[in-house]
Structure 1
Amino acid sequence: MQANHEDSVDARVRRRLRELRNQHGLTLEEVAGRSNIDVSTLSRLESGKRRLALDHLPRLAAALSVSTDELLREPEAPDPRVRANSHTHHCITYWPLTRQPAGGLHAYKIRISARRKTPPEELPVHEGQDWMYVLSGRLRLIVGENDFIVKPGEAVEFSTWTPHWFGAVDGPVEAITIFGPHGERLHLHA
């Protein structure tokens, strides 16, 4: 059991070392110079290829301008709440429900204005897949030659390679939607 505790402390210090170094905007070379630890040793310490020795802790803490306790403490859990502003585009207001990773799927709560009733002459087509779950109101969804009315509690999923459009039937619509990156670009920025 002792080895597992040592491994967890070692891993925690490695994470904190990297986290604090990045927070302070310091390079490995700068921390190595301040702590009088060889750069390759510091790199191996940070990557876990070398175990931490007790004499490393005070030198690393001083190099990072923190106490040894601060270097040893568990990192704070990041705030899990998604805090992004809403924006409106083509009579649809989007509230992000996911953070913006480099790629992948993005979820939004959307509110489609009652003014969005008429599809364009040419329905858009793009790479990807769209998914929607209607919370309130009645959604009009055109996919290819098919024209659907989607009611609260119903979900739809469709290939965006097929010409498509969605809007309101007789009042505002609220829904949860998931777009792939290509659909997100089209719906939010086109």
Structure 2
Amino acid sequence: MDADVAQILSGIGPRLREIRRSRGLSLENVAEQTSTSVSTLSRLETGHRQPTLELLIPLARIYRVALDRIVDAPGTGDPRVHLEPRRQTRGGVIVPLTRYPGRVQVFKHVLGPRKPQLTSHEGHAWLYVLAGTLRLVLGDDEHELTPGETAEFDASVPHWFGPAGDTAVEILHMFGPKGDRAVARVTS
């Protein structure tokens, strides 16, 4: 067996144990839900049983993860294939859709209710509302945007954005450093 393949296979058991424990499940819970014996699951987690698709597919379903997370498939380099959501300290979740340092960055945000706190910095921002109602504060002006609406602004203007009410808002956020701006070549 190829050394790289052997290394990937040896990591599956500990990864399965970590995922199961993070879900607060016992071997007995998982065995019941997958119709797999506790002994088989234990041997799989300790590396004493070779992982097969027949074993991994039901586990992926119960743990609600992609098979490539269990197997730790090599990355493709495309962040859209292996999205890495991150919780923000001020509330909400951010998912980077691009990774181009020094160029325009694209993020998907799900923002929960929070108090406005104005910020300013170099760059240019574009927002597109996917779901919910967005409250955008730009200096002394306030705006409410609904799904399908956009905003574009200079990030050096004190600004804040979040949900307009008590429910989350989902947006696409593009940010260009150092004043980079989008150039519209086609309009209708």
Output the TM-score relative to the length of structure 2. 0.49
User: Larger Cα Rg: Structure 1 or Structure 2?
Assistant: 1
Output the TM-score relative to the length of structure 1. 0.49
